Every structure is written in C-alpha cells, then in structure tokens.
Chain A
Amino acid sequence: MNIHAVRVIYKYEMLRAWHTLLQSFASPVISTVLYFVVFGAAIGSRIEQVDGVSYGAFIVPGLIMLALLTHSIANASFGIFFPRFTGTIYEILSAPISFVEILIGYVGAAATKSFIIGIIILATAGFFVPLEIAHPFWMLLFLILTCISFSLFGFIIGLWAEDFEKLQLVPLLVITPLVFLGGSFYTIDMLPPAWQTVTLFNPVVYLISGFRWSFFEVSDVSVWVSLSVVSGFLFICLVTVWWMFKTGYRLKH
C-alpha cells in the first residue's frame, strides 16, 4: 500500500475545497436554507403533516440527499476530470500506485467533503425545524454510503467525460430530475398510481426513503430494500471503475 500517495492525493483534494471554501461549503448551505424558507416555512405552513411528520421536518432528509448527490458528483467528477484536461494526470498514471489507492485518495476526499456538507446542512436544519433522529446509526450509514457511492459515480463521470459539456450533462440531465422526482418533497403515495409505478425505477427514491426512515420511521419502501439498492449501486460503480482502470479506458489511449 502506497500510503504516502493516498495521503498527498487526499490532502490535495481537501485543500482544493479549502481554497474555494465559499463555493464548497457555504453555497450548499445557503441553497438548502432557501429551500427551508420556501418549502418548509412558506408552503409547509399550509400543508398538513405527512405521515405524522410536520412538512418542514419531512423534507429535511430529502434536501440533505439532494445536496449530497449534487456535490458528491460535482466534486469527484471535477477532481479527476481536471488533471485529465490539463494533462497533469501523467503523473498519477506514471506513479507506483494502484487504482484502489487512487480511488481512496480522490473518492475518499470527495466523500469526506460531502459528508461535511451533509452534517452542516443537518445542523442548519435543526435551527428551522425540531429534528429527532430515531435511528442515528442507520442515518449515518445511509449518509456515508451515499457520499461514497455518488462520489464514485462522479469519479466515473469525470473519467468518461471528454469535455466540460459532458461533465455537466449527466448531473444536469440525469441526476437533478431523479432527485426531484425521488420523493424529496412528497411521499410516493401522493402521486397518481401510474407514476407510482414509474417512480419505483428511480434509485433515488430508495435512498431518500431509507434515509427518511432513519429520522422518522416512515418510509415508502422497507429500509432493507433501500439498503440493498444503495449497496447495489455502490457495487456497480466499483465494478465500473475497476474495469475502467483495468482497460485504461479514456486514460491510457
């Protein structure tokens, strides 16, 4: 294990966030606060409780997930895309490091940053709505699994994208709709029956449902199903990255 390499990559990626502190940590917090004000306070005051939870509190897990997903993907994809773009990736490729070490460095740092964002938002939410976490262990588990798997997913996008446009494309065209239709703001049974079926193909639904269950013990699907889906997604991402490194896809011509 090349510990020193993992250390410098991880440190480098964490420093990158430090240099852009405002963008990295303040912006997700600000946008989440705006959601609270608009949906939680303004609209939420006219909405009755959902499954026995006040609407303001109900949307907290979904909002955290929304921020985690977008930031995990944005951060991890940029982290590996940029060296490819500038050519400095030559150094990573010529160094005595295995793909696992590269992953721990890049994805580990991106996941850490997302995790911090998640915690900050959670704390911020506590100011607006009374929050109780029924299952702290499950909450942390979902939080960490999400940070890791979507950072990994972002890493894949960063390896795959050939230009800045493609780098933005997936988050914009795929992730944002999936998250908004993933039940951040409603429960599935509020939807018309046909859409309820369609929604079940959206992996983010399982994520948010499981995460919300860890807070309020209300969920659309069983928490075990949620856990399986997240783990499955993580596994698929891992296999994909492994294959990309093995074949040198988009890295080694």
Chain B
Amino acid sequence: MGIFSVSFVFMKKPIVSISNLSKTYASGFVALKGVNLDIAEGEILALLGPNGAGKTTLISIICGIVNASSGQVLVNGQDNVKNFRSARALIGLVPQELTLGAFDTVWNTLNFSRGLFGKKPDPAYLEQLLKDLSLWDKKDSLLLTLSGGMKRRVLIAKALSHEPTILFLDEPTAGVDVELRKEMWALINRLRKSGVTIILTTHYIEEAEGIADRVGIINNGELLVVEDKLALMHKLGKRQLKIDIEKTISKIPESLSAWELTLFEDGQSLLYTYDPNRQQTGVAKLLRTIDSEGLLIKDVNTSQSSLEDIFIDMVNK
C-alpha cells in the first residue's frame, strides 16, 4: 500500500492536526486505530466510509464529546484537551442525529448556542444566518413543530451561530431532499469562500466528488487514504477502453491474450482495463493488433472510474 503514504498536496499550515488517535470504547470495541490526519486551513475535506467505520467517533473526539484513548488533537496549534477553551471556540459541529430540544423556539435555541460558545448576543448576525438558511419565517416556531429538513437547517444554524472557523458536518445531507441538498452545497461553498474550513462525512460519493477538495476514506477505524480528490482519482482511477468491432466473435483471438480483455456477451465489444498513469498503456499496440486480426474497429470509447468505484474497491480490499 506504499502509494497511499505519499501525498502530493502541499499543505498550508494545518488548522487541525491529529496524531496517533485511537479509541477503544468501554465495551472493548476499537473504533479508531491510530489515525493521523492534517486538515489544511480553508479546505473542504470529505470523509467517506461505510456504517460503523469510525467517522462520527473521530469527529466527536475532535469536538470534545468523546474522550480519546490515546493520541493528540491540535486545533490551531492548541491541544484540544489541555487548551480546550481556545480549541473549541473555533469549532462548530452539526451532529449526525437530529438532536434538538422540543419546547424551545428556533430563535432562543440559536441565542443559547451562541452564548454557550462565549459570544455576546448579536441579533443582526443571527437574523442574517436564519435568512441564509431560509428559516427566518420559522424563528418563533417551536422546534418540535419543524420538519426533518428544517431541523437539519436549525442544527446548521446553531453550529454557525458563534461564527466558527472550522465546521464539522456529520452527514449533513442525510434525509434531505434534492433541492435542499443543492442549497446546502451552495451554502458550504459560500462558507468556504469566507474562509471556513469544512469537514464533512457523507455516504453520497457524488457529494464528495462534487464539493470536496480532498477525500479521506475510513474503514474499520483506519484512515486508508487522504488525498486531493483529483489526484486520488488520477492515481487510483482505472480507465476502461471499450472497442466495438464489426465482426461477431465467440472467443478472443490468441494474439490479444496479453491485454486480458473481456468479451461482451454480444460478441461485438471488447473491454480493456488499464492504468492511465503507466508509461506504456498498450493502447496503440492493442488497436493495431485488433486491426491486423481483421476485426474491423467500429468505435472506441474510454471511461474513467468514479470516486465511488475507488471507494468500493478500497473498502472491499
């Protein structure tokens, strides 16, 4: 797995620096196994991983909700346990579950969150925040009267109420309709432009592909890879070449065995999977050989594997 240890990203100073972080729950379950991760200021990092991979555990430790078993987290250079005040003041967290009180109003719960993080009241800021999240008309509603999507937005508003510079979003778009999801992506982009560092977990690969700068893949408590999104796709992405031929064949000719082609069921297409980063992809020679076999090439097209393919590939290893 040597390729995973090399990162091509030139890090600005890390805003969050995690070293050797491990977590064993009281039940004896090991949820994190020595995670190392630097998060650059101003980036959007997407954490992918199957259910139970340890994403929420990792976020909870950084935010001070769960105690680490060993290891260290530095937030803007401050140890998040020893200097918890300065570390936590920078962080906003949107939890995975819709955990909200029932009998508070939207407005009151926002003021509560802001005060909790040591900021003096600022009605103008909170008003703008609610407007940005299309919640202004709900400001006096009781939380229990809101729909799931509205609750999700209230949680985001609470996390932003104290103007954090680092925002953790634990599955922000779970159970959210397509339109709202688009709105959230737009919001995330706006926040990033204003300089906020964003760490989000998601099960939607297209989400990571669409908005993240870097992608981390977690499985069984291990961080398998953290990589610039494009570099990751470039490095791990397989390319496939599909060659349609005029003739119908039942067997791949001997002369083409070196390329380990797959023959489609209709006998009219061949598939070549290769690594586009290799010096010799063998594409040119393959095409010449097919031609000389007299198979008459009709069409060719290539496709790049998506983040999703890469993800499934890694997790199943």
Please tell me if the beta carbons of A253 and B25 are within 8 angstroms of each other in the complex: yes
Say yes or no for B93: interface residue by CB 8 A criterion: yes
| A1-47 CB contacts (< 8 Å) to partner B | 2-5, 7-9, 12, 19
Identify which of B95, B112, B119 contacts A12 (C-beta below 8 A): B112
Please tell me if the beta carbons of B99 and A253 are within 8 angstroms of each other in the complex: no
Identify which of A19, A91, A97 contacts B113 (C-beta below 8 A): A91
Which residues of B lie under 8 Å from residue A92 when comparing CB positions? Answer: 116
Say yes or no for A130: interface residue by CB 8 A criterion: no
Identify which of B25, B65, B101, B119 contacts A93 (C-beta below 8 A): B65
Identify which of B66, B91, B99, B115 contacts A7 (C-beta below 8 A): B115
Say yes or no for A239: interface residue by CB 8 A criterion: no
Which residues of B lie under 8 Å from residue A91 when comparing CB positions? Answer: 113, 116, 158
Please tell me if the beta carbons of A4 and B115 are within 8 angstroms of each other in the complex: yes
Please tell me if the beta carbons of A93 and B64 are within 8 angstroms of each other in the complex: yes
Please tell me if the beta carbons of A88 and B101 are within 8 angstroms of each other in the complex: yes
Please tell me if the beta carbons of A8 and B115 are within 8 angstroms of each other in the complex: yes
Nearest B-chain residue to A9, judged by Cβ: B116
Size of chain A's interface in residues, with CB distance under 8 A?
A: 25
State the Cβ distance, B69 to closest chain A Cβ, in Å: 10
Taken together as a complex, chains A and B put the C-alpha atoms of A93 and B100 apart, in Å, by 15
How many chain B residues sit at the interface, stated as a range, is 20 to 34
Taken together as a complex, chains A and B put the C-alpha atoms of A83 and B132 apart, in Å, by 28
Say yes or no for B120: interface residue by CB 8 A criterion: yes
State the Cβ distance, A67 to closest chain B Cβ, in Å: 25
Taken together as a complex, chains A and B put the C-alpha atoms of A177 and B63 apart, in Å, by 43
Max chain B C-beta neighbours (<10 A), residue from A9, A19, A88, A248: A88
Please tell me if the beta carbons of B99 and A8 are within 8 angstroms of each other in the complex: no
Max chain A C-beta neighbours (<10 A), residue from B86, B88, B113, B117: B117
Please tell me if the beta carbons of A253 and B118 are within 8 angstroms of each other in the complex: no
- Asked whether A95 and B116 contact (CB < 8 A) given A248-B67, A252-B65, A253-B26, the answer is yes
Say yes or no for B97: interface residue by CB 8 A criterion: yes
Taken together as a complex, chains A and B put the C-alpha atoms of A88 and B103 apart, in Å, by 13
Please tell me if the beta carbons of A2 and B67 are within 8 angstroms of each other in the complex: no
Please tell me if the beta carbons of A87 and B117 are within 8 angstroms of each other in the complex: no
| B91-138 CB contacts (< 8 Å) to partner A | 91, 93, 95, 97, 99-103, 111-120
Please tell me if the beta carbons of B119 and A90 are within 8 angstroms of each other in the complex: no
Which residues of B lie under 8 Å from residue A19 when comparing CB positions? Answer: 103
Nearest B-chain residue to A82, judged by Cβ: B101
Identify which of A8, A12, A88 contacts B100 (C-beta below 8 A): A88
Taken together as a complex, chains A and B put the C-alpha atoms of A15 and B25 apart, in Å, by 36
Max chain A C-beta neighbours (<10 A), residue from B88, B91, B116: B116
Contact with B along A198-209 (1 / 0, CB 8 A): 000000000000
Please tell me if the beta carbons of B84 and A96 are within 8 angstroms of each other in the complex: yes
Say yes or no for B184: interface residue by CB 8 A criterion: no
Which residues of B lie under 8 Å from residue A7 when comparing CB positions? Answer: 115
Please tell me if the beta carbons of B93 and A90 are within 8 angstroms of each other in the complex: yes
State the Cβ distance, B138 to closest chain A Cβ, in Å: 18
| A194-240 CB contacts (< 8 Å) to partner B | none
27 contacts across the A-B interface (CB closer than 8 A): A2-B85, A4-B115, A4-B116, A4-B119, A5-B118, A8-B111, A8-B112, A8-B115, A8-B116, A9-B116, A19-B103, A83-B101, A86-B99, A86-B102, A88-B99, A90-B63, A94-B91, A96-B84, A96-B88, A96-B89, A96-B117, A96-B118, A97-B118, A248-B67, A252-B65, A253-B26, A253-B67
Residues on B facing A (Cβ under 8 Å): 25-26, 63-67, 84-89, 91, 93, 95, 97, 99-103, 111-120, 158
Q: Apart from A87-B99, A91-B158, A253-B25, what are 5 other A-B pairs with CB-CB below 8 Å?
A: A4-B118, A91-B116, A93-B64, A96-B87, A96-B89
